[in-house]
Structure 1
């Protein structure tokens, strides 16, 4: 089964041609509840019910924010009967399933059961606007967009992340509102070669990435932020299950940079990255309201630890770092290797993806 194209956008079940790039589509679209899913074996969506729950919960939170005047985007309210529909898990399940099925059918084209179906990444966005003809202050209909693309390859090693202060306005723990996509751009603007930006609180707690969950192994205990403080990703859910299955000690608390000397490994989890070990970490003190703790970078290829944690007054800038990030001020250098327990966890997650995947029919379109 060959894909018709590398990208496809469906708006209310109709293909948009020419297909805009993903960034252009999200920039132009009215923000709303969204989720990003991945397939396994081409036609099975991993943790499908979790994505359904996410759309319903985000809609509920957004509707409450709009009603109470707390929505920073000042979006119009959605008619109450439509809010009821988009917060009902059964209705949302059927809605997302139908739109995902149509999107995959269009993306893959005519079925050929003799060929493997390539895996894809689907971003589903639900939004609404005021009805210009009837009520300019109320939305009486909603839209569903699905953007389909080939699942990108996992980043190759070495993998680096940048640590930045968490914005005060960040509220992803209550669901995924696509307004966050535009808000996170300034965080990612200077990440250079880094794969992700991990957000840090003033206390030094490393909470989550802009598109990922974050874990650190500290004295052989796996640490990650508790459910109520982050958006619990689908792969994070699998990673936690894998840690229990593999008897890896687990504590639901954010890794703290002040204990960096006791970390033995760290990784990201996300739809496309799965469990992705981290080789480099860059902490950026610029653009902070106040310094938290010294900046640092972890470099691969060195056999010794450099610097002493913390180094409050000393600035150490490695030539490699200075060349890659000339505008940044870095204040410490550390290194650690990927722990074998993280490698085992990654393999476990990959093996168990299929256990959580739900089939989506690819019967020919009528």
Structure 2
């Protein structure tokens, strides 16, 4: 069983150390045993296929650079280790987290793998409820693992029965979710924050779909004071794809149903996703 591995740089590859030989750990459990550093999380399709794999690797290296550390991943060797872990994962699809150690042994990588469990289908038909929280990232362009602890602390303290917490700035602008990007549609235009947020890998794919579908895009956040005028809203992440939002705090979005532009983008996402996947078994 290889659900949690430490990958130590060795010669032209990595030396894998199995940190959970007797029991499978969830990604969250593995993260508690991982040093502070850069991380990325993604899901697989049909066992070995991933959306925007190169961007995930790029983001780890860029996050390290933003903290003043220079690290270059051995991408071919890393893909090989991921595939070896997936071979021992019974689930046909998995959720993978890569964490680069930036605090103890620079360059070591922690790899955790858990079965991928999609959201229930009814949530994509009815939309989800969200809540706002006053919060922002210290270093928005860096995906640092310490933020995972901060996000978990918010979920524990707020204790609301919602899909996601949306971070709002001091100016009351909706920036992003704790683990997602946020989008609002007003008067046929798609709004999403560009500054002060972590640009998710799925976000770029969605913005490309919007451009291809002639949906105008405004790279700016909406304010909570605009919520009464928002027609549609949705979240995106590697595990959620496009997930409609029907409520933010006490505000019902539009008429409370999945809107036409959101539905259009969801359909395009499903139609185009498999044309844009990378095979982990083929080195980037």
Among residues 5, 9, 22, which one is paired with 2:4 in the alignment? 9
Aligned counterpart for 1:338 among listed residues 234, 258, 275: 258
2:126 aligned with 1:144: no
Between the aligned partners of 1:249 and 1:125, the Cα distance in structure 2 is: 36
User: CA offset at residue 147 of structure 1?
Assistant: 1.2
Q: Which range moves more in the overlay, 251-260 or 352-361?
A: 352-361
> 2:96 matched to which residue of 1?
122
Q: RMSD of the alignment, in Å? A: 2.2
Equivalent residues, number: 267
Assess, with a 3 A threshold, how the Cα gap between structure 1 residues 221 and 191 changes in structure 2: closer, same or farther.
farther
- 2:58 corresponds, among 53, 59, 62, to 53
The structure having more radius of gyration, on CA atoms, is 1
CA deviation vs aligned residue, 1:149-205 (integer Å, no higher than 9, x gap): 1222124244111111124xx235222110101111222122422011100112221
Residue of structure 2 in register with 1:102 after alignment: 84
User: CA, structure 1 residues 259+30, in 2 after alignment: closer, same or farther (shift >3 Å)?
Assistant: same
Higher strand share: 2
The normalised TM-score by structure 1 is 0.68
2-structure distance, mates of 1:336, 1:172: 34
DSSP 3-state at the match of 1:192: coil
| Separation of aligned partners in 1, 2:39 and 2:139 | 11
Partner of 2:138 in structure 1? 171
Distance in 2 (CA, whole Å) between partners of 1:102 and 1:274 is 26
Q: Which moved more, 1:260-269 or 1:119-128?
A: 119-128
Which residue matches 2:268? Answer: 348
Q: What TM-score does the superposition give when structure 2 sets the normalisation length?
A: 0.86
Q: How far apart, CA to CA, are the structure 1 residues paired with 2:161 and 2:88?
A: 34
For 2:75, the equivalent position in structure 1 comes to 93
Cα 1:261–1:181 shift into 2, 3 Å: same
Q: Which residue does the alignment assign to 1:159?
A: 128
Which segments of 5 or more consecutive residues in structure 2 lack a partner in the other structure?
A: 8-15
Kindly report which structure 2 residues correspond to 1:178-197, keeping only aligned pairs within 5 A, or say none.
178-189=145-156, 190-197=158-165
Q: Check whether the contact 2:100–2:109 (CA below 8 A) recurs between aligned residues.
A: yes
